[in-house]
Amino acid sequence: MLIKPSRDGSNPPLSSEITPREVYEERRKFIARIAAGAAVGSALWEMANREAFAQTPAGQKLAAKANPALSTTEPRTAFKDATNYNNFYEFGLDKGDPADNAHTLKTRPWTVSIEGEIKKPMRLDIDSLTKLAPLEERVYRLRCVEGWSMVIPWVGYSLSNLIRQVEPNGNARYVEFTTLADSKQMPGLRSGVLDWPYVEGLRLDEAMHPLTLLTVGMYGQVLPNQNGAPVRVVVPWKYGFKSAKSIVRIRFMRDQPKTAWNVSAPSEYGFYSNVNPRVDHPRWSQASERRIGEDGFFKKKRETLMFNGYPEVASLYAGMDLKKYF
């Protein structure tokens, strides 16, 4: 999403290769600070947390029943690509940073607080949350607002299962997702690129849609840290940034949540952010995309599909001007 247009606007740049100057400078400061502090800091941190690290179930298998009705049959992105080309700014701004840095994320114990306009507020540890409903494997397309996409076999269950358990009251119209923000575990919080914590949100009916997946795994195992362990959402018809990683709080609200990207650049990132090839980002087209791992940089891009190829969600937006509510 941090992409600069070419100077004369004629030759759209490859989104993954470009970084605006402010971000670049921020990143350089960030790297310098890490270089100064990391050697001592992270050794101490790892010593203090050796036990917690030992409990982190990296690579642990997760049994799940395939749900072909809600899965694409397109070729799956290689695990290596899906785990080494990531956006997770809490661990740095470059696509390879989360894979390099997210080992410091401590995913056990982990508690998600479910609160706000509901009859049954609760705090669930990650194991109870994982067991709340039968796990399914759903192969979804994920389309980043930057113009690339992947096909990933996620493991989880419809978020609606959890929402029904906590019984939203009559005031609940939106759901807010808040990500962990712990600077001891997340070196990226030193960057001022977003207001931390990372916050995302959905309208309640979007959150209740069967496609909206509370996700605890991918490729048959628990989520790798860089993909948002131990729990994230995946909302496949929206740009990837709506799918918040490493969630610690789910809050039901009367008013629309203030979401991190919308707050940082409201004219560029709307609350809805449905994938829509007909509504361009102010600085680049959204009409096509590059499938990671499949297309070379110089190959023809794929056409981007309305709602990322999930037309069944269209009824959620009946009567809405999707240029206005982008």
Contacting residues for 239 by C-beta, under 8 A, at least 6 apart:
143, 144, 145, 273, 274, 275
Does the protein bind ligand MTE through residue 101 (CB under 6 A)? no
Smallest gap from residue 323 Cβ to ligand MTE (A): 22
Give dist(CA 177, CA 151) in Å, integer: 23
Q: How many residues bind ligand MTE (CB under 6 A)?
A: 18
Six-digit token string for 63: 């049994």
User: Interface with Mo ion by CB under 5 A: which residues?
Assistant: 87, 144, 240-241
Does the protein bind ligand MTE through residue 246 (CB under 6 A)? yes
Q: Which of 150/166 has CB closer to ligand MTE?
A: 150
Site for ligand MTE in 158-177 (CB under 6 A): none
Does the protein bind ligand MTE through residue 207 (CB under 6 A)? no
Does the protein bind ligand MTE through residue 86 (CB under 6 A)? yes
What does the DSSP 8-state code read for residue 138? E
**CA triplet 46, 51, 57: central angle to 5 degrees?**
100
Q: Which residues are annotated as a binding site for Mo-molybdopterin?
A: 86, 89-90, 144, 179, 227, 232, 243-245
Give the distance between the most distant pair of CA atoms in the chain. Answer: 57
H helices present in the chain, as ranges = 21-48, 50-55, 79-82, 97-101, 126-131, 159-166, 204-208, 260-264
Q: Which stretch binds ligand MTE (CB under 6 A): 113-121, 127-135, 243-251, 272-280?
A: 243-251
Q: What is the side-by-side strand order in the sheet with 199-203?
A: 122-125, 111-116, 247-253, 174-179, 199-203
Does the protein bind ligand MTE through residue 216 (CB under 6 A)? no
Q: Draw the binding track, 128-157, toward ligand MTE (x: CB under 6 A; -: no contact).
A: --------------x-x-----x-------
Smallest gap from residue 308 Cβ to Mo ion (A): 12
**CA triplet 292, 229, 310: central angle to 5 degrees?**
50
Q: Would you tell me which residues interact with ligand MTE (CB under 6 A)?
A: 86-90, 142, 144, 150, 179, 198, 227-228, 240-241, 243-246
